[in-house]
Structure 1
């Protein structure tokens, strides 16, 4: 006898979307969230973070993002939105429940959380996020660097770096946004292996997400066809490329060696550095699935479009490029959650909305 229809590991945007999809399939899910509230990693992101998609393209199923649909929501707005969404889901959410292990016996999964009674269910959704584990590339000499090393997941604002010599490593949206912000307070270089590519945020006066939705790119289920996620261009509102062209920050190819507090650039020049900040992305934290043998040797889930290829009844929501370009975003997790829940339940007919209603 199972305790629940569905156990969802993770109470961020992916877990909340999975719970909504389960409810519309007539199932009663329970969410296990390690943190103090079901808002995912959003409160831990840097202070100035704003979405690159307008509010109209940044909603979970059943609850439109509030206020002007064309504004770009700030980090704190997203946190408030997720709190509201969780509050109207009509789903049991257990916070402070860090899942340590998932096992399976006779087709039933048992989910073990630290200090809690184990729970059982025929379906487990791993929705602990594709951004749970900061990724730092292995660089020769980094372990001997005597300056300060941090990841973008630890960065909050530029104040502590005033007057420093800083290298930001990366070529994506966060790298450019952080480097540009820091450049107003410190001497900053954006270091990468290939030049940053930019794309206008509002081509022909419309946000890029308008065009993406218009041509159906967001919905294309091609993620499973990619051997590795493609490099994407930085969404530029008009200020980022201009800042780099002005040298604040300057852009250089990746340094070649580290010696104490000094790096060497490809042209042979050496320079003392105070801080190296890696804006090099994240990886999913799914080690609780190790007992199942559901992961590859590098920790990647063995899955096809979110469905485990090793354990029927196990699925994922929120992985980067899980099914589409938008899979790991607010606007994309709902579609992926609906897809995996329908597959897991035999494509039963949806019973309609059971959770959130639009906010007036």
Structure 2
């Protein structure tokens, strides 16, 4: 049996919940379909020591401040999950769990949302699936020859899995720095980056990053990447200042037993952790043919240029400044809900 809602939101993580908040305020009929069986989106899959970049008050979804976590200026992952679970309940958001969307199809004037447990029709769709589900690992010579363990940020959980081992951590962003710092007291770590590690000033956290991103959109100014790549959260700062995580240039190739650099030097290791980012999880939109020859989906704000019934929310700056963050997604969710309400009226 096919069900109907005026708006179907694909994804029940932070972006989907923010969309639900504003769709409810707009008085629209909507449902949220989420492949996960429990609340929290990608946050429930992060590593054990993961903390936010910002204080709780600056890590909140619209309408509900995140309460502070006792003894922790930057909340940990368990606190974030409690907050998102409470948020969903507080606003009675209609999240259907364990429902995987396999494709969105044009059945003009409606959209047909096909799932692994039936189909929905909708007048508009908000895609809020994020990026966690598409980890990116670069094509590096010798990857197939390496006999040790290889895993991505998305699979890392705790340093105990690598106690006493030799580990290469690849990637000069926040994940690479945090995981290298997490491992350093327990394993022999070599952190490798494409260019020398660039830390933001120690007094910069997520609150300031959001303000910088917003100011750049409104008035111009420096990009965050002009200032640095890594937020020096306390564990990273401590490991850096103790000299535990010096960064090294990127190796040329992996061998059966480790890595080799351009100067011929070798470093044997037991594992390689690829902290090399993610790509937007958008395969469910493929039937609509929204991508250009360059591979991207052009948007105006969050709206897909090729189909005004489709909005993309929470994938990064191309769908709104800081829209992949807890504090940043609210503004773009509000704008998307307003545009959809105007369209449907």
**Same fold by TM-score greater than 0.5:** yes
Q: Which residue of 2 is the match for residue 97 of structure 1?
A: 99
**How do 1:123-142 residues align onto structure 2 when only pairs under 5 Å count?**
123-142=124-143
Cα drift, residue 162 of structure 1? 1.1
Cα drift, residue 208 of structure 1? 3.8
Q: Which residue of 2 is the match for residue 12 of structure 1?
A: 13
Equivalent residues of 2:302, 2:320 under 8 A apart:
no
Residues 299, 76 of structure 1: CA spacing in aligned structure 2 closer, same or farther, 3 A cutoff? farther
Tell me, in whole angstroms, the C-alpha distance in 2 between the residues paired with 1:99 and 1:295: 19
**How do 1:58-137 residues align onto structure 2 when only pairs under 5 Å count?**
58-67=59-68, 71-114=73-116, 116-137=117-138
Q: Which residue of 2 is the match for residue 217 of structure 1?
A: 212
Equivalent residues of 2:123, 2:344 under 8 A apart:
no
Residues 314, 210 of structure 1: CA spacing in aligned structure 2 closer, same or farther, 3 A cutoff? closer
Taking structure 1 as the reference length, what is the TM-score of the superposition? 0.87
Q: Which residue of 2 is the match for residue 234 of structure 1?
A: 230
Equivalent residues of 1:122, 1:313 under 8 A apart:
yes
Q: Any idea what SS the aligned residue of 1:80 has? A: helix
**How do 1:289-300 residues align onto structure 2 when only pairs under 5 Å count?**
289-296=285-292, 300=296
* Alignment of 1:345 onto 2:341: yes
Task: List per-residue Cα deviations over 1:273-325 (Å, max 9, x = no partner).
Answer: 21010111111111011111123467543323211011121001111113544
Q: Which residue of 1 is the match for residue 328 of structure 2?
A: 332
Tell me, in whole angstroms, the C-alpha distance in 1 between the residues paired with 2:257 and 2:174: 27
Q: Any idea what SS the aligned residue of 1:104 has? A: strand
Tell me, in whole angstroms, the C-alpha distance in 1 between the residues paired with 2:270 and 2:43: 28
Tell me, in whole angstroms, the C-alpha distance in 2 between the residues paired with 1:322 and 1:182: 33
Equivalent residues of 1:222, 1:324 under 8 A apart:
no
Q: Any idea what SS the aligned residue of 1:301 has? A: coil
Equivalent residues of 2:180, 2:191 under 8 A apart:
yes
Tell me, in whole angstroms, the C-alpha distance in 1 between the residues paired with 2:21 and 2:216: 21
Q: Any idea what SS the aligned residue of 2:175 has? A: helix
Q: Which residue of 2 is the match for residue 54 of structure 1?
A: 55
Task: List per-residue Cα deviations over 1:227-250 (Å, max 9, x = no partner).
Answer: x99475211146535634654233
Q: CA RMSD in A?
A: 2.6
Contiguous gaps of at least 5 residues in structure 1: 350-360
Contiguous gaps of at least 5 residues in structure 2: none
Taking structure 2 as the reference length, what is the TM-score of the superposition? 0.90
Cα drift, residue 2 of structure 1? 8.0
Q: Which residue of 2 is the match for residue 184 of structure 1?
A: 185
Task: List per-residue Cα deviations over 1:87-138 (Å, max 9, x = no partner).
Answer: 1223321101000010012221000001x22111111000011322111111
Q: Greater relative contact order: 1 or 2 (C-alpha under 8 angstroms, separation 6 or more)?
A: 1
Task: List per-residue Cα deviations over 1:126-154 (Å, max 9, x = no partner).
Answer: 00113221111111111221111000110
Tell me, in whole angstroms, the C-alpha distance in 2 between the residues paired with 1:68 and 1:348: 41
Equivalent residues of 2:198, 2:230 under 8 A apart:
yes
Residues 238, 50 of structure 1: CA spacing in aligned structure 2 closer, same or farther, 3 A cutoff? closer
Q: Any idea what SS the aligned residue of 1:282 has? A: coil
When structure 1 is superposed on structure 2, of 19-28 and 289-298 the one drifting more is 289-298
Residues 98, 2 of structure 1: CA spacing in aligned structure 2 closer, same or farther, 3 A cutoff? closer
Residues 343, 292 of structure 1: CA spacing in aligned structure 2 closer, same or farther, 3 A cutoff? same
- Count of matched residue pairs: 339
Task: List per-residue Cα deviations over 1:36-71 (Å, max 9, x = no partner).
Answer: 023101111000000011111100011110136982
Residues 249, 212 of structure 1: CA spacing in aligned structure 2 closer, same or farther, 3 A cutoff? closer
Which of 260, 264, 267 does residue 260 from structure 2 map onto? Answer: 264
